[in-house]
Structure 1
Amino acid sequence: MKYLNYILIITGAVIAMYAKTGIEQNQYILIGGIIMLMLGVYRISRTIPSKQDKEEDIHDSEIE
């Protein structure tokens, strides 16, 4: 599953760049590429703990 996020990001970026380079830009392909790119970034950002969670963990370990 971890590699799926990177594949989504890379594929989305390539598709978005490909759709942008043509003389007649296909808006649907461009939108699809951007959606794939953003979905991959969102899935990766979900796995990163927030700063607030880290601070609570440090505070909890100091109390114990």
Structure 2
Amino acid sequence: MSNNIVPSESEMSLAELRGDCARMAPHWAVPAKTSTKPVEPSRIHGVTVPPSSARLIDAMSDYGD
């Protein structure tokens, strides 16, 4: 029985992984950025938000302003 341990592919170094990614990057397609229109409030039906959650979201500037 041999005590020689051969590293598996999953044990590659971070530098090797970054190099592989850099070589593959030109082959990856970037999807075209699409813009989406906001949904009209009149089209949203059946959504129930508990009052405590509504207050939380209302207090968050990203959502309430």
* TM-score normalised over the length of structure 2: 0.24
* TM-score normalised over the length of structure 1: 0.24
**Larger radius of gyration between Structure 1 and Structure 2:** 2
Q: Tell which has more relative contact order, 1 or 2 (C-alpha 8 A, sep 6+).
A: 1
